[in-house]
Structure 1
């Protein structure tokens, strides 16, 4: 049974039972927040509150799905950080990893819960026989969310034992893992030249049509990684950025003792 977050409880109280019913402006209105769309320079959204009333301004120059996540993110600030003037830059919203402040992580978590509530998301995700970027795209279209935000939600929702890793030209930017993947499986900072992802980012390779088998030591710098195979699927999300979905099918990788020696953890 899924334990509902505050955002999900709000949706349940509003009677929302289908992704198409998630009207963010209407939800904001019930929370005493008015929404405006204006061109913004240097930020994706901002919120100004006074008492129990707030005005949220969203960058009208951004694509619609980006606007939706930004609005949901600001609703998270309204719930958790009242009394503060917050201006959210592009890099502050929807950025996974340790570089985020606790306030931004709280707001992102709220946004994910309001846009992709688990009581709707997980049953729909599990209806798909395979877990790959095709499934993630289907869910993104259903919930009207970005591919990256949807992928993070799916990986963290234990749909399948997996990691999602983002790389740029300078190395790994961030990653998330499923709760059922032990922390010892920590991806390398730099892309291995043997990985399929390397050819997508630095070569002329196109996006992977489906996950492909590869030795685990192409992704994990552990003495025992060479024993295993994983599946890897990589897509390009920007000119100099890729996302890789790493799928772990071997139960031994998931059940092994976490005390084994690791050569490197960066």
Structure 2
């Protein structure tokens, strides 16, 4: 069973069918995890377990969505990595997306599926053709989740061709595409001066909604000039911008591009490893 399926099984077993019934502390209690809110330094959450019981200590942030994600994250560690203690430094999935910490990413996936289970979240989001940050904020309010976690779940359910990315003035921190977007599309590492995201980070100009942009402002591909994307951005943590990029349908049908980036994928979308040096 996948990490996400294990999380959603808890929701199903408890008979939860509505966002308002996803009481993360009660779900933790049912898993023999006691949740304690206590000010800490050096970490945002801590899980300590013994036998079949554990205590999850959460650093209060004053932001309910972030606190709920921290609880769900620690609950993920309890179900996935039992037998170990964890001190988690962040309560925001953005930091773990830009790291290589497998256990933290797994706990984030568990938390996302627990707080935004597919069978409840998908009907809520499907009412929007291309969800904007304003609409995602509306959904996030119903689920008591952060806009970050909600945007990432939008990618995860794969009903629209969207990329969620995070940039600062120095360039890309991370990006996450929905599953149907071909591997051949490579985002630029540095922001193009013609993007709305560049304007937000460098002059504070707000992006009120989705707007069309030439795809070449976002992608390295030489044929990107043939296409358009829809872009929206908002300010995020640590002087970064969170970006929504919707690809047009023709971009999903574009053929293999052998002349982009490091050529890490072949025409079938398979990873191409670097050739080992032959010994003589």
Q: TM-score, normalised by structure 1?
A: 0.93
1:91 Cα shift?
7.0
Counterpart CA distance in 2 for 1:239 and 1:161 is: 27
On the 8 A contact 2:96/2:104 being kept in 1, the answer is no
1:257 equivalent in alignment to 2:249:
no
1:261 Cα shift?
2.2
Counterpart CA distance in 2 for 1:130 and 1:218 is: 20
* Structure 2: 5+ residue stretches without partners: 265-280
Counterpart CA distance in 2 for 1:191 and 1:169 is: 8
On the 8 A contact 1:216/1:230 being kept in 2, the answer is yes
RMSD across aligned positions (CA):
2.0
Equivalenced residue count is 262
User: Secondary structure at the residue paired with 2:95?
Assistant: coil
Counterpart CA distance in 2 for 1:259 and 1:221 is: 11
User: Secondary structure at the residue paired with 1:247?
Assistant: strand
On the 8 A contact 1:94/1:108 being kept in 2, the answer is no
Superposed CA deviations along residues 123-176 of structure 1, whole A, max 9, x for unmatched, are 110022442112211111111000011001112211310101101122111111
1:97 Cα shift?
3.0
1:98 Cα shift?
4.9
What is the aligned partner in structure 1 of residue 170 from structure 2?
Answer: 170
Q: Classify 1:238/1:48 alpha carbon distance in 2 versus 1 (closer, same or farther; 3 Å).
A: closer
* Structure 1: 5+ residue stretches without partners: none
1:83 Cα shift?
1.1
Q: Classify 1:4/1:93 alpha carbon distance in 2 versus 1 (closer, same or farther; 3 Å).
A: closer
Q: Classify 1:96/1:259 alpha carbon distance in 2 versus 1 (closer, same or farther; 3 Å).
A: farther
User: Secondary structure at the residue paired with 1:221?
Assistant: coil
What is the aligned partner in structure 2 of residue 245 from structure 1?
Answer: 244
Counterpart CA distance in 1 for 2:228 and 2:93 is: 34
On the 8 A contact 1:161/1:178 being kept in 2, the answer is yes
1:264 Cα shift?
5.8
Counterpart CA distance in 2 for 1:73 and 1:4 is: 12
